[in-house]
């Protein structure tokens, strides 16, 4: 079973700054859009369907992003996502933007979300079936904090240049 889901995306000129680099805000848009597609394709639901059915959704409470290398317009990148932590109320996802061949990491994003009941407007415990579904795709990273993960990925990129 594939636990890290990937999509290939073309970087558009209109999403770049005047010197042809992907705008920092656009990294987030590309990565979040890819994750939404991954959830639909591999987990079998959209966030909208899930919220309509359960009355609950996931609310982002923290984003951590590191830009490791520039991305130029007209390039094709691979955006992958994986669940890296699941607790009763909180889950964490890692999204990577990589070169098309998958060797270079351009950016890493960790998103922490809380399970949220739209009617009560409060956090609540995720249902066992939801936790079970995400546990099937859980990836256990060696690096347990964001800064350690960033340093690991930077080192991995540097070793490619050697």
pLDDT confidence of 1, banded at 50, 70, 90? low
pLDDT confidence of 162, banded at 50, 70, 90? low
Report pLDDT for 44: 85
The residue among 120, 111, 138, 113 whose CA lies nearest residue 54 is: 120
How many other CB atoms are there within 10 angstroms of residue 141's CB atom? 15
What does pLDDT average to over the chain? 95
pLDDT of 64 over the 80 cut: yes
pLDDT tens for each residue of 69-111: 999 999 999 999 999 999 999 999 999 999 999 999 999 999 9
From the candidate CATH numbers 3.10.129.10, 1.10.10.10, 3.30.70.2610, 3.40.50.2000, the one assigned to the domain spanning 5-161: 3.10.129.10
**Range 110-127 burial, b when 16+ CB lie within 10 A, else e:** bbbbbbbeeeeeebeebe
How many other CB atoms are there within 10 angstroms of residue 80's CB atom? 20
User: What average pLDDT does the segment 136-156 reach?
Assistant: 96
Write down the residue that tokens 């991995």 correspond to.
156
pLDDT tens for each residue of 2-58: 788 999 999 999 999 999 999 999 999 999 999 999 999 888 889 999 999 999 999
pLDDT of 154 over the 90 cut: yes
Report pLDDT for 77: 98
Report pLDDT for 160: 82
pLDDT confidence of 135, banded at 50, 70, 90? very high
């Amino acid at each position: 079973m594939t636990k890290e889901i990937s999509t290939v995306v073309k970087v558009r000129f209109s999403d770049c700054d005047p010197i042809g680099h992907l705008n920092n805000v656009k990294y987030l848009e590309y990565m979040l859009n890819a994750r939404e597609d991954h959830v639909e394709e591999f987990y079998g639901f959209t966030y909208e369907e899930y919220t309509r059915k359960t009355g609950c959704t996931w609310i982002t409470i923290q984003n951590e992003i590191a830009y490791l290398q520039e991305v130029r317009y007209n390039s094709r990148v691979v955006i992958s996502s994986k669940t890296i932590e699941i607790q009763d109320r909180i889950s964490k996802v890692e999204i990577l933007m990589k070169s098309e061949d998958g060797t270079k990491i351009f950016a890493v994003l960790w998103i922490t979300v809380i399970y949220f009941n739209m009617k009560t407007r409060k956090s609540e415990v995720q249902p066992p079936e939801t936790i079970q579904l995400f546990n099937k795709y859980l990836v256990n990273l060696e690096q347990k904090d964001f800064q350690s993960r960033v340093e690991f990925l930077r080192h991995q990129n540097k070793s490619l240049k050697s």
